[in-house]
Amino acid sequence: MKKKTKKKNKKNRKIRKTTILFIVLDVLMAICFFLFYGPFSYFRNLIICTATVTKTHGWIAYTFFSEETINKVKAANSYVYLTDEVNLDEIVIDTSEKDHYDNKYDEMVLKRDKGNNDYKLFDVEVGGYEAHMVAIYNPAKIKLITSKSFNTGSGAETVLSMCERFGGLVCINGGRFQDTTGWGSDIPKGYLIKDGKIIWSDDNEKANIIGFNKENKLVLANVNGTEALNMGIRDALEFGPFLIVNGKKISTQSGAGGYDRAARVAIAQRKDGVVLFLVTEGVHTNGPTLIEMADTLALYGAYNAANLDGGTSAQLVVDNELINNPLTVYGTKVEGGRAVVSGFGLLK
């Protein structure tokens, strides 16, 4: 009798656990349904824009929403890209040390560390995320850095390795590369220009070129390779979008500020010629927006600025040390940084 009672109790407990499990699943499904299809568009927009910004997780959005809905949300939260021609006449290079400053941001950039006239590294915050900014005082020493080889199967290289090989004091990653597996490759995408020569290009179509001309001014231009060389560009790569052009910041179609969040990298130049490298913490789908990057760079006096490759690729190296913490889309730390193909470096 006792044996039967024990079996019955055990069976009842199992039924209760199963019932509780199904209740919890029902509640979770109801919550998801409410967030995905309920009256609050913020959650729907956040889910769609966050999922579709990645190469490997876009299926999440397409599982729950129609392609028409996804396209409408993406269009409503897309950026209004800057197309103005950069006015380089406004850049008058004078990076000599000053004894007065316009504001605390100006002071942070221009007041140099004792004994270091090359650069200054300091921490900032971008959209609530930790970030690192470097002010570089001699733009003539900023050059394109590249991996040891292209399209060989083993040419990709971390920024730490590239920076050491080029004799760099400060380096960041920069340009695009083919990435069909999520692990990168040594095949660049777009233009790479070094010492006034095109060292890589997919074609001769117009694209967003980011780099320095022979006058050491940061050029942001939508041109083809031939036009870039005719403009006197000496070192450049292809990426984007442009964040600030002639002091005008990027904006969005809506007031939401954009949902595509990620760890980010940017390059900028002030009117006095000082160049800013900005690298943020975060992961591929969780970090500052482009709007927040532009706002921060503007605070520190950026007159022209552009977005570079971010996410897992985001890397800042200073004096042979990786300063930020690159993470995979899953939040796993990438020891030593991800292998990439190009960037910019302040060379000795």
Give the model confidence (pLDDT) of 155-199 as tens digits: 899 999 999 999 999 999 999 998 876 667 899 999 999 999 999
The pLDDT value given to residue 84: 83
338: tokens are: 């991800």
What are the Cα distances from residue 329, in Å, to 183, 198, 214?
Answer: 11, 33, 38
The pLDDT value given to residue 47: 56
| Cβ density class 48-72: b for 16+ within 10 Å, e for less | bbbbbbbeeeeeebeebbeeeebee
Using only the alpha carbons of the chain, give its radius of gyration.
Answer: 24
The pLDDT value given to residue 56: 47
**Secondary element (H or E) of residue 35:** helix 2-37
- Alpha carbon distance 163, 315 (integer Å): 11
Task: Report domain extents, the chain.
Answer: 2-78, 80-347
- Alpha carbon distance 252, 258 (integer Å): 7
Residues of the chain with pLDDT under 70: 1-15, 22, 25-65, 67-78, 181-183, 253-259, 284
The pLDDT value given to residue 8: 59
The pLDDT value given to residue 320: 96
- Alpha carbon distance 136, 113 (integer Å): 12
Strand partners, 193: 198, 236
The reply to whether the predicted model has a pTM over 0.85 is no
The DSSP secondary structure of 288-328, one letter per residue, reads: --HHHHHHHHHHTTEEEEEEE--GGG--EEETTEE-S--B-
